Structure 1
Amino acid sequence: MKFIASLLAAAALLMAAPGHATGVPIAGVDHVGINVPDLKQAEAFFIDTFGCVPVTQIGPFPLDAAAEKSEAFAPRADSVTLAMIRCGTGANIELFEYVNPRGSKAMPQLAEAGASHIAFYTEDIVAGVAYLKSHGITVLGEPITMTAGDTGGETWVHFRAPWGAEMELVSYPKGKAYERRTAQRLWNPSRPAQ
């Protein structure tokens, strides 16, 4: 009986999604946090452009000398306000607005250490790019379709949010080439339960 129980436990571990067998057991990515210079502008951009929904907002919280010494908040500033928004079936986005930040005010370039970007999935990247352009959003070049390698079948293009952050539109409605060589799957916002 112990052998059967051990066999079933091993099978369950093998069928679990990667990353669940060892380390911290997680269900997935809860949110991505980004700093924005103007919280209202950022919320309006995500709502108007992608249909995101604002859910919570807290603050402003003063960041006094005691809080700064705890290293709980960076960069140091007079205060911080946080808002959580939900976008489709993906992870939530947490927006931080720091008032009078003491850190760098320069937007990091995408190739710099510590820089990051958010990629929004769309089934129709051509229509998505047309929408961005028609609303005065700077699109950085034309969509690029990957024709080889694991990402074959994926089309992507970068654009700039109104405050200068680089973001991405990505599309692969027929899947990606890696799916032909492995049963493992990257999370797909158009099929979130898989």
Structure 2
Amino acid sequence: MIKKLSTLTCAALMAASIPLGAQAELPGMRGTQHIGITVPNVDEAVDFLVDVMGCEAFFSFGPFGPFDDDWMTKNLNVNPRAVIEIITMVRCGNGPALEVFQYTSPDQDANPPKNSDIGGYHIAFYVDDINVATDYLIENGVQVLERPHPLTGTGLEGMEWVYFLAPWGMQMEIVSAPDGIIDEEQNNRSFWDPKSDS
């Protein structure tokens, strides 16, 4: 545990040494509009996101491909014979949309990446009460990893978190910081916060 905390503390200290002002800026950048995720079955994934997580599905479109040329590789960095069967746009509360893809491809890896893999990722949902939300996930048959943990000794102190797995194996997380996090208090700045839309 000491080793874990010291690693987190080092990361927080390194982050604290980064100047508060941006060094460069993508012209006109306002924030995250959507996050794309690829799932084995769009209908099943959207059912989970709507029926369990409480998201709202908007619309679907596709398919794209198959193409005879290398359009898919040039534009999407995937196998030229890959096909996007369907895309559904989903909104989860006050946050960026999810663009949920269902692909087929000759070289498709059916195993979701772990966080430790290059390109690994997860999506975190903010909740008001992490213990109530954790119990709800468990009651709905969702695989939750352990119980919520505090992020003490870091710039995120004040936040609690716990990971869970979507039915298709993707890593997801719920977080809660009802009283804010220490970095915001110490540096008079704030991360984007779904509670306040700031």
Specify the code of the residue in structure 2 equivalent to 1:74.
Answer: V
Indicate which of 160, 164, 168 corresponds to 1:159: 164
TM-score by length of 2: 0.82
- Aligned partner of 2:139 in structure 1 is 134
Deviation at 1:126, TM superposition (A): 0.5
Specify the code of the residue in structure 2 equivalent to 1:156.
Answer: W
RMSD: 2.0
Indicate which of 181, 184, 193 corresponds to 2:189: 184
Distance 1:18 1:34, change over 3 A: farther
Distance 1:123 1:99, change over 3 A: same
Distance 1:19 1:35, change over 3 A: farther
Matches of 1:18 and 1:64 in 2, distance apart?
45
* Contact 1:78–1:101 (Cα < 8 Å) also in 2: no
Aligned residues: 177
Structure 1 unmatched ranges of 5 or more: 1-16
Structure 2 unmatched ranges of 5 or more: 1-19
Indicate which of 36, 39, 43 corresponds to 1:36: 39
Indicate which of 58, 62, 65 corresponds to 1:62: 65
Specify the code of the residue in structure 2 equivalent to 1:84.
Answer: M
Which aligned pairs between 1:17-36 and structure 2 lie closer than 5 A? 22-36=25-39
- Aligned partner of 2:154 in structure 1 is 149
TM-score by length of 1: 0.84
What SS is found at the alignment partner of 1:147? coil
* Contact 2:163–2:173 (Cα < 8 Å) also in 1: yes
Q: State which structure, 1 or 2, has the greater radius of gyration over its C-alpha atoms.
A: 1
Deviation at 1:71, TM superposition (A): 4.2
- Aligned partner of 2:16 in structure 1 is none
Q: Which runs of 4+ in 1 moved over 6 A?
A: none
Distance 1:101 1:50, change over 3 A: farther
- Aligned partner of 1:81 in structure 2 is 86
Matches of 1:136 and 1:37 in 2, distance apart?
19
Deviation at 1:101, TM superposition (A): 4.9
What SS is found at the alignment partner of 2:62? strand
Deviations 1:68-95 (A, max 9, x none): 3534362552443111111111000000
* Contact 1:84–1:94 (Cα < 8 Å) also in 2: yes
**Percent of counterpart pairs with the same letter?**
33
